[in-house]
Structure 1
Amino acid sequence: MTLAGTRSTKRERWGWYFYDWANSPFYSSTTTVFGALYMSTIAAEDAKSNFTLNGDHACVDASGAADTLHHCDVTVFGLQFPAGSTWGYLLSVATIVQVLVLPIAGAVADRSRNKRRILGGFAFLGATAAAAMFFMAGSDWQLGAALFIVANIGYGGSLVVYYSFLVDIGGPDERDDISAKGWAFGYLGGGLALALQLGFYLGHDAFGVSKGTAVQICFLTSGLWWALFTVPAVRALPRDHTPVDVAPGTSVLRAGFGELRRTIVSAKAFPLTLAFLGSYLIFTDGITTVVAVSAQYGKDELRFGDEVLIMTILVIQFVAYLGGTLHGLVARRIGAKRTILGSLVLWIVVLVGAYFIQPGKVVQFLAVAVGIGLVLGGTNALSRSLFSQMIPEGKDAQYYSLYVVGERGTSWLGPLVFAGVGQATGSFRLAIVALVIFFVAGLVLVALVPVRRAIEAAGNRPPEVL
């Protein structure tokens, strides 16, 4: 029996909410804002040092003007690509690497008497790497890329364990609300951290530091925030956990991939659960990509300055807090599935609106940002809680390992589509609208999944409102 079936204290739930608060700056600041803006700039500096202007590899646009970001290539492992596509390709590589590592998180969590210790270990690994991105400077974008990949390993690993606690702290009728509150609280924390960083970034001259150094300090503070607030979160989470037996002499790595394989095999007995998971993996790829490339789209295609972009992301963060809370309230009345379908329709509207934004039109950009904020957190929060209803009892970490592995294993497609379309057409406007396909496909597939039957097939009681 899960802890939700015996006890669930207010302290434990707040501990769960607080880990969303702790890790959000890595997502909102490092990944969404400063990484997207700074990585391309650093890569462009590297490109400048490796080309001869107007020579065989001239970095010029159609008018003959220098345009390092779009028209000059950087090279890594013998591969060449435009400096402006660096971030999109890095996101793809980081997620592929996670697929090879995340099964270990589920294996260790299932085999440990103290899951929260495993959560803390992955969190501190990610936080340390995120803070170390402070040392990315000049033209050394490769160092930042390596640290970002390690940080993502810690981030993804911690999420596997973190998600599995949802079943421990909430019953079937409570999880939509708990999950939505956690996601909303996370966006509030990410927004607060970003607001403080924005104030420092915009006032960098008053602090006697350059713009580049200010960004480096923002990397450092995001990592420190993650580490600092992980401590009270981990201390408040449930301590009790009955570990899975491990055969003597079996390594954690072998056990991890063995467990993933067994989970996949056993999951075939629950095809409706897999159908929902597949639907989720498609549309969450689109969500992750939109958030990750929004700053680059605003900078490279719409020609907004960094200050406008960061303030817009800040608006998204605080609106996402309201959006996440609103999704929880709506789900109480009409159910999680219908709420998710409504959100996916709004995502399609938002992306079409983004395509028509005119360069330099701040009000249009802010309107689309508000739309993103309203649907950003709630869509994923309700998907997380709805999936928990479809997991056979006692298989929480295993199935959330499959959930996060699948999430990370497919989330390279969106950045790849964005970067590829942008490189092929020379237009990030076409690249952003190409992402609509992920939401259309997700909408159709989620609509076809009989969620109540899926929950009952897993041996669970469906919530009263579904």
Structure 2
Amino acid sequence: MNVTRRRIWGWMLYDWAQQPYATLGLTFIFGPYFAAVAAGYFEAQGLTSAEADAGAQSLWSSAQTIAGLFIALTAPFLGALADASGRKMRWIIGFSVLAMLCIAGTWMLEPDGTSLYLVTFLFWIGFVASESAFNLNNAILPSLGPAGRVGRISGGAAAFGYWGGVLALVITLLFFAENASGTTLIGLAPPFGLDPAAREGTRFTGPFIAIWFAIFLIPYLLWVREVPPKETPPPLGAVWGDLKATLRRTVRRRSLRNFLLASMFYRDGLAALYAYGGFYATLVLDWEITQVGIFGIISAVAAAILTWVGGRFDERIGPKPVIALCCVVLAVVSTIIIGISPADLYGLPFPEGSAMADYIFYFCGVLIGGAGGTLYSASRSLMVRHADPERPAEAFGLFALSGRATAFLAPLLIALATVITGDNQLGFFPVILLLLLGLLLLVFVNKDGDRAEWSASSSPSA
């Protein structure tokens, strides 16, 4: 394997290493476990079952809101600082280690709600660190190949990451995450003396994610190298001044401005689908952890396959039409999710004893995984078409800002809608609005980017 291919594979391995934080932690194992534990904890405090479910969802969404705001406010400056110093790797390593330590600490969440608030804090601090490292890693993408191949590389990396999530999820379901009877998906007791009564198999998910992250970070560190900076890094004040100038230029760049606004909304809606999919299945369809895990496997396999396909379409027709199609698919899926219950779909009853609701939700998982993975990959590709080749980390800091600037909005709207209506399903309605708003703004984005426009706006006469 030559140096260039090794560097590409090393970069792609970061997606593989980091993906279980989202797949196992955020969505399919720890998230649903947290939902069940938090709901039980609040019910033990005297709330009704419906109030306890809403309280669990509100706690999760409030923490996600704060985490999203912190990422949004820090990402552009971190990107500018990394560009100026020429040292992205040290930031990536530092944030990755912090994420590992925090996710390992989620082991402390016991079934009776012991350490509920501490673990909430640890999970979302780790999430901030993981996303910060991921954003900086994205900034390496423009240097991996010519512009025409960036979409294919991005799609391949995202698909590769999803396969990592699938493998990690399968291992967890087969050997660790226990159901109500205390056994895993294949009927085994959790290994290493883990106590199923204390849900230690499921709680081991946090340390497992940390171990996975550490192991697969090694080839990334060996194969991905940076070119040392040629000049002494500028002082922080100069970095901040350059960033403010970039933000002012961004406002004048019509295509980039509209792309960042569009992605701000549709990625917020996508993040909500990821964050609440397992929650929703647990609280509305009354699924056990193992059922949510199967849902996760189906979603992740679909994501791995369809994201790879999406990368090929991105290379052939460009990222913009791919993004538009994904937004439409996700809006349709969200509409289905709002109207489904174990007994009916928008009032149309299922046959008594039917598993139709489960099958429909599994199909929704296929579409969420495939469209969601493709949406992020194509968005990353379209950002490259708008990025200054000399300042990629700063550009992807803005990309992270657009993805997180309103990250508080979906959780906040979901929390408010849930509290106002007292219904977990109606609380999900704002997701549809966010996806459609992003789709509308995408109309005003140049499918080829605006690097020429950037060059003109940053020239001495501009």
TM-score between both structures, scaled by the size of structure 1: 0.86
Q: Does 1:143 align with 2:118?
A: yes
Distance 1:353 1:48 in 2: 29
Q: Deviation of residue 459 (structure 1)?
A: 4.2
Listed as ranges, the matches of 1:163-312 within 5 Å are 163-199=138-174, 200-202=176-178, 203-204=183-184, 206-207=189-190, 208=193, 209-210=195-196, 212-242=199-229, 245-247=232-234, 250=235, 257-312=240-295
139-148 vs 283-292, which moves further: 139-148
Runs of 4+ in 1 over 6 A off after TM superposition: none
Q: Deviation of residue 35 (structure 1)?
A: 3.1
Indicate the SS of the match to 2:140.
helix
Residue type matched to 1:119 in 2?
Answer: I
Aligned to 1:122: 95
Q: Is the 8 A contact 1:32 1:294 kept in 2?
A: yes
Distance 1:215 1:388 in 2: 39
Q: Is the 8 A contact 2:76 2:400 kept in 1?
A: no
Q: Deviation of residue 171 (structure 1)?
A: 1.2
Q: Does 1:331 align with 2:311?
A: no
Residue type matched to 1:71 in 2?
Answer: E
Aligned to 1:4: none
Mark the CA change 1:32 to 1:255 in structure 2 (over 3 Å): closer, same or farther.
farther
Q: Deviations over 1:428-450 (max 9, x none)?
A: 22222331111111111112222
Q: Deviation of residue 268 (structure 1)?
A: 3.0
Residue type matched to 2:69 in 1?
Answer: I
What's the Cα RMSD here?
2.3
Residue type matched to 2:7 in 1?
Answer: E
Q: Is the 8 A contact 1:43 1:139 kept in 2?
A: no
Distance 2:173 2:404 in 1: 29
Q: Is the 8 A contact 1:8 1:168 kept in 2?
A: no
Aligned to 2:30: 35
Q: Deviation of residue 264 (structure 1)?
A: 1.0
Mark the CA change 1:459 to 1:425 in structure 2 (over 3 Å): closer, same or farther.
same
Unaligned segments of structure 1, at least 5 residues: 1-6, 52-58, 61-66, 74-80, 461-466
Aligned to 2:460: none
Distance 1:341 1:83 in 2: 33
Distance 1:117 1:231 in 2: 14
Q: Deviation of residue 49 (structure 1)?
A: 5.2
Indicate the SS of the match to 1:9.
helix
123-132 vs 98-107, which moves further: 98-107
Aligned to 2:17: 22
Q: Does 1:414 align with 2:410?
A: yes
Q: Deviations over 1:61-86 (max 9, x none)?
A: xxxxxx2xx3249xxxxxxx823422
Q: Deviations over 1:283-320 (max 9, x none)?
A: 00000100110111111122222221121011101110
Mark the CA change 1:401 to 1:255 in structure 2 (over 3 Å): closer, same or farther.
farther
* Number of residue-to-residue matches in the alignment: 428
Q: Is the 8 A contact 1:19 1:230 kept in 2?
A: yes
Residue type matched to 2:429 in 1?
Answer: V
Unaligned segments of structure 2, at least 5 residues: 343-354, 457-462
Q: Deviation of residue 410 (structure 1)?
A: 1.4
Q: Is the 8 A contact 1:94 1:148 kept in 2?
A: no
Q: Is the 8 A contact 2:284 2:341 kept in 1?
A: no
Q: Deviations over 1:343-402 (max 9, x none)?
A: 111112211222333315211111111111221111110111111111122111111112
Distance 1:364 1:135 in 2: 34
Mark the CA change 1:152 to 1:383 in structure 2 (over 3 Å): closer, same or farther.
same
Residue type matched to 2:9 in 1?
Answer: W
Indicate the SS of the match to 1:295.
helix
Q: Deviations over 1:79-123 (max 9, x none)?
A: xx8234221222112112223443453244224344223212211
Q: Is the 8 A contact 1:109 1:397 kept in 2?
A: yes
Aligned to 2:351: none
Q: Is the 8 A contact 2:12 2:160 kept in 1?
A: yes
173-182 vs 103-112, which moves further: 103-112
Mark the CA change 1:295 to 1:417 in structure 2 (over 3 Å): closer, same or farther.
same
TM-score between both structures, scaled by the size of structure 2: 0.86
Listed as ranges, the matches of 1:87-166 within 5 Å are 87-137=60-110, 138-166=113-141
Distance 1:182 1:453 in 2: 22
Q: Deviation of residue 338 (structure 1)?
A: 1.2
